[in-house]
Structure 1
Amino acid sequence: MFYYYGRKKQIAKHYPCPNFETIIEPFAGSAAYSLYGDHWKRNVILIERDERVSDIWQWLINEATPSEIKNLPDLEIGEKSSEFLHIIHAATKMAFHYKTIKVTPVLARNWEISKRYMSENLFKIKHWRIISGDYTLASDIEATWFIDPPYKEDTGKGYRYSSKLIDYKKLATWARVRKGEIIFCEGHQGDYLPFKPLLELKGVAGKTSKEVIYYRSHKASEQLELFQLSSR
């Protein structure tokens, strides 16, 4: 819904479509998967540990109106802001540690785009639910679980609740016993589940990053652990 470093907006199409009426994102961020296509029409439950991010969701879901968002002031290049909703629009995960930020052309442009997107798509999320807290607060119900934690090792260290604070073995054990369908995202250093390659993303200076996935679905009491890339 808003800019968030590491969001899945550009690659959401590569993940399996939800097979259950309820979608749960235990590491909500900006919930790009739940907003993709018609996914938003389902019963969406977000869990977010960073209370500043969950507060944004609380405001968007329960209070904000399209006109209110449209009337939010633009950001002027060179000015400073201490508003967290502004700060996270900087194109860096280190923004989660800033108390104030100087507005760059990138931040101003991201905010302009995000403000327009939020106002035009706000209606999609008014039936959603946000829970502020750790992923373990999610009720174990039959659902499509889109699990996108801070990635293991360096790529997940910039967030406020970073990879350094996650017990990945515990997370893997928790994920594998969820009811329904599991779509688990990671980077190339993920080794705590039987991840499969998903795609390679091109970055700056010719660098590439690898996205991997763990997919599991319960169908008719039969557990499947596979992801058929050939169907993508």
Structure 2
Amino acid sequence: MRNYPPPEHDTIFEPFAGSAGYSLRYPDRKVVLCERDPQIAAVWRFLLRVRPDEIHAIPDVPLDGTVDDLLICEEAKWLVGLWLNRAAARPRRSPSKWMRIGIRPGSFWGERVRTTIASQLEAIRHWRIIEDDYRACEKRGVQATWFVDAPYQSAGRHYHYSSAEIDYNELANWCRSRPGQVIVCENEGADWLPFERLDSVKTTRAGRRSKEVVWLANHQANCKTAEKDANAAA
């Protein structure tokens, strides 16, 4: 996330929330997350209300067991499940091969992850989560930073709510109409906006890299001009 420009406005909208990696770099801002997946939305609601000591109290998953072995609520199980495999699109029930053999233990559910999450809770307490698709973020006239990380057009078919369900022409028009700063990230080969090369990053597959692209826009000047014209007409 460090390659994306910082927010230029006090409010950040993430219409495809996921792990909200961009907003977590700027937790002091007013943040509105929109998430269509009911499990992911439930995890965010859980995080917005839970206490740090409750996170610390969530136990480890036995390497030969599942999250069902833990006497915790469903939302906590889903949270843990997202940390049982790297870059998991959906909560898992059992530890992945990489977790079982102990590669990068800090990347999977355990003390380090619990400590990190618990330390962030108070900083995000003011955030808002909307369980709906991206169009529910519609806020006419609100100058904000819009960070759009939709399922990638080609590589996003493994999500429960996948790229196959998205009308990318409609999404492109929606992105162009956002008032304020707009940051749209994608993978090389996407053609629904005039993307530019951003970076090449490691993937969870050995030796594979993802070629990331981005589309940036700032509609602040246009919105101010439109508002001025509207006031003059009135």
Structure 1 residue aligned with 2:109: 111
Compute the TM-score of the two structures, normalised by the length of structure 2. 0.81
2: distance between equivalents of 1:19 and 1:25?
A: 14
Return the offset for 1:28: 0.4
2: distance between equivalents of 1:35 and 1:182?
A: 17
Q: Any unmatched runs of 5+ in structure 2?
A: 69-76, 225-234
Structure (1 or 2) with the larger CA radius of gyration? 2
- Spell out structure 1 runs of 4+ moving beyond 6 A: none
Structure 2 residue aligned with 1:217: 218
Number of residues of Structure 1 aligned to a counterpart in Structure 2: 207
Contact residue 94 and residue 158 of structure 1 kept, 8 A: no
Return the offset for 1:94: 6.2
Matches within 5 A, 1:54-203: 54-61=41-48, 63-82=49-68, 83-91=77-85, 96=90, 100-102=93-95, 104=97, 106=99, 109=105, 110-112=108-110, 113-140=112-139, 141-153=142-154, 155-203=155-203
Return the offset for 1:126: 0.3
SS of the residue aligned with 2:90? helix
Percent identical across equivalent pairs? Answer: 38
- Letter in structure 1 aligned against 2:66: K
1: distance between equivalents of 2:212 and 2:91?
A: 25
2: distance between equivalents of 1:41 and 1:94?
A: 27
SS of the residue aligned with 2:22? helix
SS of the residue aligned with 1:40? coil
SS of the residue aligned with 1:137? helix
Contact residue 202 and residue 210 of structure 2 kept, 8 A: yes
1:23-72 alpha-carbon deviations (Å, 9 max, x no partner):
00000011110111xx11111000000011111111111x2000111111
Contact residue 81 and residue 91 of structure 2 kept, 8 A: no
Which structure has greater strand proportion?
A: 1
- Letter in structure 2 aligned against 1:74: D
- Letter in structure 2 aligned against 1:79: G
SS of the residue aligned with 2:219? strand
Structure 2 residue aligned with 1:227: none
SS of the residue aligned with 2:18? coil
- Letter in structure 1 aligned against 2:151: P
Contact residue 96 and residue 158 of structure 1 kept, 8 A: no
Contact residue 85 and residue 98 of structure 2 kept, 8 A: no
Q: Which moved more, 1:23-32 or 1:211-220?
A: 211-220
SS of the residue aligned with 1:215? strand
1: distance between equivalents of 2:161 and 2:182?
A: 22
Return the offset for 1:139: 2.5
Q: Which moved more, 1:202-211 or 1:142-151?
A: 202-211
Alignment CA distance shift 1:106-1:167 (3 Å): same
Contact residue 81 and residue 103 of structure 1 kept, 8 A: no
